[in-house]
Amino acid sequence: MDRRTLLKTAGAAAGLAALGGAARAAETCCSAKGKLMFDNAQFYGADGKFDVEKGKDAVEALCRHHGYPIFPGMREGLWVSDYGTGQFAKLGLAAYIFINNVEDRYMMMDIFLLPGQMLPEHWHVEGEGNPAKREGWLVRWGASHIVGIGEPNLPDEIVIPEIHCGGTAETRHDVLATPGMFVPLAKVGSEHWQYGGPEGAIVTEVANVHTNSGVRHADEKLNDFFLNS
């Protein structure tokens, strides 16, 4: 097989894979008047275990809804987790890290939040020779409630799930960030969390560097799961 034929074959296979992903995403996402809706049960198998591929299907559905380009290798590179809660639709995270340069200390990643999904409250400490993470968030599509230290103003529509510290969070100062808004971390080492708006959110995070061992979660169960996963 020559190079041209090989490239054509590879392209066809990639196209079929993309169509398969689109079909799975369509099955994952229900639409009512153009709104995204997800049923938590669809993310779990008969054994009750979180199905990472179904989580990725939901991310693809979110991306297609907003017109975010699904690029080659994106699905494979997605990190998707329910933090062991069994409630991915309410609490979890999907992220794609484009770069995490430990030597020169810079990173960039995109965060994908489903509608009404909470990214758990956490903060960053020094780890593996790196300083505590400095970071900020640029909302690209949808809307995200970016919550941190400051005067409490959390709106009633944000319902912290019971699986997160019994339905509570330490920090309750909310900034409703929409496309084009950049929100920096209020203070290095301070607690913060996010919550997807009605159409979810796709958020670009920029920071100095990320180390998993330097992350601490307010909920001890989530913290143990994250550090041991």
Q: Is residue 147 part of a domain?
A: yes
Q: Is residue 60 part of a domain?
A: no
pLDDT digit string (tens) for 71-128? 999 999 999 999 999 999 999 999 999 999 999 999 999 999 999 999 999 999 998 8
Higher local confidence (pLDDT), 222 or 27: 222
pLDDT digit string (tens) for 181-191? 999 999 999 99
Q: Is residue 183 part of a domain?
A: yes
Give helix 3-28 / helix 52-66 axis angle, nearest 10°: 90
Res. 25 pLDDT band, cuts 50 70 90:
low
Task: Tell me how many domains the chain contains.
Answer: 1
Mean pLDDT of the chain: 89
Res. 8 pLDDT band, cuts 50 70 90:
very low
Q: Can you give the CATH number for the domain in which 224 is found?
A: 2.60.120.10
Q: Is residue 36 part of a domain?
A: no
Q: Is residue 162 part of a domain?
A: yes
Which of these, 189, 185, 182, 154, lies nearest to 168 by C-alpha position?
154
Which of these, 38, 49, 136, lies nearest to 89 by C-alpha position?
38
Q: Which domain holds residue 165?
A: 67-228
Res. 24 pLDDT band, cuts 50 70 90:
low
Q: What is the pLDDT of residue 7?
A: 34
Residue type (1 letter), 46: A
Res. 129 pLDDT band, cuts 50 70 90:
confident
Say what the pTM is. Answer: 0.87
Instruction: Please provide the DSSP assignment of 196-212 as one string.
Output: EEEEEEEEEEEES---G
Angle at CA 117, nearest 5°, toward 112 and 120? Answer: 90
Q: Is residue 20 part of a domain?
A: no
Q: Is residue 141 part of a domain?
A: yes
Which of these, 175, 185, 178, 182, lies nearest to 153 by C-alpha position?
175
Q: Is residue 51 part of a domain?
A: no
Strand ranges for the chain from DSSP E = 30-32, 35-37, 79-81, 93-101, 106-113, 118-124, 135-148, 173-177, 182-184, 192-207, 215-217
Q: In this predicted structure, which of 19-23, 38-42, 160-164 has the lowest mean pLDDT?
A: 19-23
Res. 18 pLDDT band, cuts 50 70 90:
very low
Distance in angstroms (rounded) separating the CA atoms of residues 146 and 174: 6
Q: What is the pLDDT of residue 28?
A: 56
